[in-house]
Amino acid sequence: MVNDTADSTVAEEIHLARSGRTRSRVLEALKAAANPLSGEELGEAIGVSRVAVWKAIQALTRFGYRIDSAHGGYRLVESPKDALYPWEFSEYPGTIRRWDETDSTMNRAREAALEGARSGTVVLAERQSAGRGTKARTWESPAGGLFFTVITRPTTHVTEIHREVLRMQCALAESLASRAASRAGVLWPNDVAVRSGAESPWEKAAGVLAEYLVTGSSVEYLALGVGVNTGTRPSIPGAASVSASRADILRDALAPSRESPGELVKRWNALCPLVGKPVDYSLAPGAETASAEGARTGVFLGTDYRGFARIADTDGEERSFPPGMISLLNKGRKP
């Protein structure tokens, strides 16, 4: 089910979902057709009236699709470049809610989740005026970036919720490696980084933010916020921008993953360039420089099945740290 707004009543949302499905089916038919299709042919093919087809064509035209209505039928001439409209993702079984601009997709996702949004609901925006990062930081959201939040209702125990961050990191890193022809990797706890060459530093191209509501040990909902720098490069040090289709990255990120926790950990560890290498870390939350007081040195061993960092100290003792307990200094961006 797809819809193109979240500022609606339940009845309006049902109507928008239906209209979104009609647009999606009309668009699919036009893309697949070798010759122009009449309104009657389109209606019969997708099971709607000619009036519904006409309304869908008018709506698609308003959203920037060039559709020629000459020669006895409709013909798709051109689609908006890298469009993120819900009807472009007809293969996705969940609801997609899109904004031209909002303060943060995480805020809209929280509202939707508390109102009972179904698992799999996606909130996305072309622009964010107050994007959110970890530790109350701002996520810079320059033009052309990909900004979305996925709402799920997992049955995972709260102590294992970070595993879902790992899953999203893997999907993003693999997508960037394929779509942007980049060397891409994952960095603990929530970054996705790229590098231009074997001697170049790792630079942050994407991040994942988790927010969840817990009752006892049960997770009522999980919101995974994602920002991918596919547009203008952010101004913050150590950031990178990649050249890739936002729509393709979104499809990759939303593709189902049914691997076991053990398989996921192996996948993540294989994508992390820090595994087996010395790292500096601090028990001071938020510390990010190598001069941070109390800095320690160890060997990063990857994550465990919960998504906790495993570090072997200089004395050989292995310790596990949940997200938020330590900071990896420089986040592995040194060559």
**What is the predicted pLDDT for the residue at 18?**
64
Cα–Cα distance, 183 to 51 (Å, whole number): 49
Residues in the chain, pLDDT under 50: 1-16, 287, 289-291, 333-335
CA neighbours closer than 13 Å in the CB half-sphere of residue 284 = 13
**What is the predicted pLDDT for the residue at 286?**
54
Per-residue burial over 294-327, b if 16 or more Cβ lie within 10 Å, else e, is ebbebbbbbbbebbbbbbeeeeeeeeebebeebb
Please give the C-alpha separations between residue 92 and each of 27, 87, 124, 303, in angstroms, as whole numbers. 15, 10, 14, 30
**What is the predicted pLDDT for the residue at 102?**
95
The encoded tokens of residue 210 equal 């988790």
Cα–Cα distance, 242 to 178 (Å, whole number): 12
Could you tell me where the DSSP H helices lie in the chain?
Answer: 10-32, 39-46, 50-62, 105-114, 163-179, 246-254, 261-271
Q: Which residues pair with 327 in a beta bridge?
A: 282
SS3 content of the chain, % helix, strand, coil (to 5): 30, 30, 40
Given a contact cutoff of 8 angstroms between Cβ atoms, the answer to whether 132 and 160 are in contact is no
Q: Which residue has the tokens 């980049």?
A: 182
**What is the predicted pLDDT for the residue at 331?**
61
Backbone angles phi, psi at 149, to 5 degrees: -135, 135
**What is the predicted pLDDT for the residue at 330?**
64
